[in-house]
Amino acid sequence: MIRNLDKISGKNILLLQGPMGPFFKRLSIDLTLSGALVHKINFNGGDLLFYPSKSVNFYGPIDEWPSFLLDFLNKFHIDKIVLFGDCRAYHQDAIAVAKINKIDVFVFEEGYYRPDYITLEKDGVSNHSRLSRNPNDYNDEKFVPDHKDHQSVGGFFWNVAFFAFFYYLFSAIFWPIFNNYRHHRNLKPNELIYWLISSYRKVYFSWVERDFIRSIVEPNAHNIFIVPLQVNVDSQILFHSNYASTKDFIKQTIISFKQSAPKDTILVFKHHPLDRGYHNYTRYIKALISDYQLSNRVFYVFEQKLPILFKYARGVVIINSTSGLAAIEKGIPTKVCGKAVYSLNGLCFRGSMSAFWKKAKLFKVDMSLYARYKNHLMYCTQINGNFYKRLVSSKFKSGLMLYDKSSD
């Protein structure tokens, strides 16, 4: 939809919550210049900060949100709704209302191929994606993305930190006005403390783990199973898996490893960098190692780079993450324990976790299928760009590289 900007002329488009920062405001300029009539609803002070004008604020309790939205849709004759993240409570209600009223919904999300891409799909992303899970549907050669103008985003950590600080600050300042708002994560000013903790742990664990590759990984090359962890409150755990939490996933994985994995293999849990300031599972994992007598077979790291770990991996176990795609691209046997958009026969191991430990060495990724699948995924869902950092040569205010290749 966004790539075919000529098709939105005269359309009434409603923007709901976007990423922290000015991305949705910049996007609205692109849409307006293409002839669309853009509307915006804010839910808290952070939304208001980055979209202060030509917007409407919703102040009511969440149970009044569906009727408020329906009135808004009818009053302004909304044709399409655009939002970021389809698992937020307000967005789940919006998608349901839109479906009943036959209004298209387009969902932005972080890229399936990060950091240089963002995701845009109709109706939903990840497990809600309309993409086929049938490998036979990925044989059409017309789905070939054009990479000639591809740009690298580069580092954007401090962009996110800057926008997050002011988003949470203004959410706190305007809390008396938006006091009915219910955020999908913590929305208090103490978020700054977690960012400081994250910075400290990055330095600390970089030092503690400085010899991990040489002392642990290299001597056990190709006998290692890597487990990239999710952010604890990630929708992939809450909505797209059968695990109650990250701790639950860790425990079930360790139990299965103890019961079924070959004795010469080791297990390495990799902490998610965006969860660094919020959780530290060191004590929890050490207790499980003791309980299940897995000393020197189970490890937990913060600052090791997945591309390096993958070089030595026999297999990867994951709930649902872009790290899974990265592993598959390298031909590494991957067991998906959640509901991933890329969990296809031929790409991922489809048996049980207990069977995976034993059979991973024999499993071969269908790299031809993967190449076709990636082309399709890139062509239909990925846009070169970033929510928090504009591409320098982009002619669009949103900072994206847009192409005339997507239908609305």
Tell me what pLDDT residue 408 has: 46
In a domain? residue 364: yes
Is residue 150 domain-resident?
no
Q: Is 398 part of a structural domain of the chain? A: no
Helix (H) or strand (E) holding 228: strand 224-228
397, 30 contact by CB (below 8 A): yes
Is residue 276 assigned to a domain?
yes
Q: What is the largest CA-CA distance in the chain?
A: 66
Considering just the CA atoms, what is the radius of gyration of the chain in Å? 22
3-state secondary structure of 352: coil
135 located within any domain: no
Alpha helices in 223-273 (DSSP H): 235-238, 246-260
Let me know: does 106 contact 128? Beta carbons within 8 Å.
no
Contacts of 41 (CB under 8 A, 6+ apart): 14, 15, 16, 55, 56, 57, 58, 69, 72
> What pLDDT does 406 receive?
44
Its pTM stands at 0.89
- Residue 107, in any domain of the structure: no
Write phi, then psi, for 30 (nearest 5 degrees).
Answer: -60, -45
| Cβ 281 vs Cβ 250: under 8 Å | yes
Write down the residue that tokens 């991996």 correspond to. 313
pLDDT of residue 146: 63
pLDDT tens digits in sequence order for the chain, 408 residues long: 566 666 788 999 999 999 999 999 999 999 999 999 999 999 999 999 999 999 999 999 999 999 999 999 999 999 999 999 998 999 999 999 999 999 999 999 999 998 899 999 999 998 889 999 999 999 876 677 666 678 899 888 889 888 988 998 899 899 999 999 998 766 666 667 887 898 899 999 999 999 999 999 999 999 999 999 988 766 666 666 788 889 999 999 999 999 999 999 999 999 998 889 889 999 999 999 999 999 999 999 999 999 999 999 999 999 988 899 999 999 999 999 988 889 999 999 999 999 999 999 999 999 999 999 999 999 889 999 999 999 888 888 898 877 554 444
CA distance 372 to 350: 20
pLDDT attached to residue 407: 43
* DSSP result, 38-69: EEEEE-SHHHHHHS-SS-EE--S-GGGHHHHH
pLDDT confidence of residue 237:
64
Bridge partners of 106, per DSSP, are 82, 122
Chain centroid to Cα 17, Å, comes to 16
Sign of the CA dihedral with 74 first, then 76, 77, and 80 last: negative
Within a domain: 356: yes
Cis peptide before 115 (omega within 30 of 0): yes
240 in a structural domain: yes
Q: What is the CATH number of the domain that holds 332?
A: 3.40.50.2000
CB 260 within 8 A of CB 315: no
How many distinct structural domains can be found in the chain?
A: 1
User: The domain containing residue 305 runs over which residues?
Assistant: 213-371
Sheet holding 56-57, edge to edge: 56-57, 37-42, 12-15, 80-84, 104-110, 117-122, 382-384
